[in-house]
Structure 1
Amino acid sequence: MLAYPHIARVLATDEALDLIERLREMHGPLMFHQSGGCCDGSQPMCFTQGEFKTGSSDVLLGEVDRCPFFMSADQFGYWKHTQLILDVTPGRGSSFSLEIPLGVRFLIRSRVFTEDELAALAGD
C-alpha cells in the first residue's frame, strides 16, 4: 500500500491563499486556468467563477481553497509529472487575471512528483 492517500496536483502558498481570500471578498467565487503561453507567458489566471469558459479540452487539476484549477489537456501532457504550487509575486503582469490591478500577480512554482506519487496518481 502506498503512503500517499491523496496527492494534490496543485497547492498554494500562504501568500496565495491570502490573496485568494481577498479576491473572493471583492469578486465572489473564483476559478483558475493555467495559461498556455498567451499574453504574459504561461501563468495562472484568476477569474470570477464561470467567467472563463472551460470545455472538453480542459483538465480539472483540483481545487485551491475551493477554487477549481484548470489547464488545457495539451499543456497537461507536458505538466502531468509536476505538482503546481500557486504563489504570488509583486509586479504587474499583462494578463486579464483579477489580481493584476492590485500590483501583484500569481505565478507557478513546481516540483516533479516522485515515482511513488506518480504511481498513486495513476490510480486516480
Structure 2
Amino acid sequence: MPSERRQPPGAGRPDGDAGYTTAEAAVALPALVLVSAMLLWAVLVGSAQVRCVDAAREAARAAARGDPAAAALGQAAAPQGASVSVSAAGDRVRAEVSALSGGPGGLLSFRVSATAVAEREPGEPGARP
C-alpha cells in the first residue's frame, strides 16, 4: 500500500479568500489612526484643563496671601497663551484662567477655563477680623 501524504485542509482548492485580509487592513488602518488621533487630542485637552485648574488655584492662593504677583504666578502655571485675571470682592479673591487648547494642525481648538475662589488670609487688607 503506497503511503499517502496528507495535505492540510483546503490544499489543492482555489482560495476564494485571497486578498481579503489586505483589503480589511486597508480599511481598518485609517480608522485606527483616526481613533488614536482623537484619543491623543482628548488627552491634550484634558491636560490643558488640569493646568488651568492648577493655575487658577495657585493665583487665588497667592492673592489670598496678599502677594501682588498673584496673576504672574498663575500665568507661570497656566498653559501657553492663557489669560489670567485676579479680582477681589470683600474678603474673597477670585482667579480665572482661560486658554485655547489647540488641536492637531490648529483644527478642533477647544477653549478650557477654570475659576478658583479663596478667602483672604487674616491680617490682609479686606480680610475679616
**TM-score for both structures, normalised by structure 2:** 0.24
Q: Normalised by the size of structure 1, how large is the TM-score?
A: 0.25
More helix by share: 2
Could you say which structure has the larger radius of gyration? 2
Larger fraction in strand: 1
Highest RCO, 1 vs 2 (Cα 8 Å, sep ≥ 6): 1
